[in-house]
Amino acid sequence: MTFPRKNYFFLFFVILGVTVVHNSCNDSGCTNPDADNFDPEADLDDGSCIIYGCINPEADNFNADANTDDGSCVYNCINPDYYCLDITFNHFIDNQNVNFGNNDPSYFNLAQNNYSVRRILYVLSDITLFFVDSTVVLDDFFFINSDLPETLNKTIFDLPGECTGISFRYGLSSIQNIDNNFINELDNFHLSMLWPNLNGTNDALQGGYHYMKLEGKYIDQNTEVVFYNNHTGPTNSNDFSFLFDPYTFSPSSSISINMNINNWYNDPIYDLNIFGSGIMSNNNAQTIIQQNASDVFTVIPN
């Protein structure tokens, strides 16, 4: 069957019109270009738009456009309705402020080791804050790195009152200290503190994370200046972390956590000449440092 030419063109446009109508179906999605899930192809808003931000109107950084809280709310510490805790981390050799990066071995411990401190990195975890009528258990841990000044101060917001005490663990417990458990943490924590995993070829190195990296130089028995790397962590399947009893103080919104580095070496005595430059496979060295942890820290209100 054949169509006259004019009917043929009429049928072509009818078919074309049906196609155009078919392509004009609406695509639903988020049409707000400021949303985190904006869909540029959508022409019908379905109410799914997500805008992350602080949704508490009492916070200093309240975002009136946000509809999904991202945990970023910041509260003024002076505001009596919103308390916070400023924590400063200080490091001493007895009564002297540590001169990080100085390679001149000018400090002494009870073993009469003459040593310097190049840097210190360590973890405090299982953190609990105490208040007059309550406690707050933090989900996060503290990572302190003397090479990164921004890690030497922490502020914890939105607390129920002025803090009256704190407890924490040096290092990470065996429950938390799992390979690749903290890949996305800030301050390059994962790569900085990774404990090697040799896949069963060395029982001392089974993965997880360091508790501490304390590094510098010392003068050995031959009066040579040599490096030491006192790296602590889970050795030979043993957990050498240390959970401290709570430190209590008068109510405060600002405290200092002070470390006396010499106390890692003093009771029982740790001799750099005995344990040498590296201790990651040495259970005896790890045990002594764990035992010495009990009086390394002091906590005072500011």
CA distances from 104 to 43, 95, 145, 227 (A): 68, 18, 20, 11
- How crowded is the C-beta side of 122, counted as CA atoms within 13 Å? 27
For 94-112, b/e burial (b = at least 16 CB within 10 A) is eeeebeeeeeebebebebe
Separation of alpha carbons 40 and 188, rounded Å: 35
Q: What is the pTM of this model?
A: 0.77
What are phi and psi for residue 293, nearest 5 degrees? Answer: -65, -25
Per-residue pLDDT of the chain (302 residues; tens, 9 = 90+): 444 444 444 444 444 444 444 445 668 899 999 999 999 999 899 999 999 999 988 777 899 999 998 877 776 666 667 799 999 999 999 999 999 998 899 999 999 999 999 999 999 999 999 999 999 999 999 999 999 999 999 999 889 999 999 999 999 999 999 999 999 999 999 999 999 998 888 888 899 999 999 999 999 999 999 999 999 999 998 999 999 999 999 999 999 999 999 999 999 999 999 999 899 999 999 999 999 999 999 999 99
Q: Is beta strand 142-145 parallel, antiparallel or unpaired with respect to 225-232?
A: unpaired
What is the DSSP-derived secondary structure letter of residue 149? G
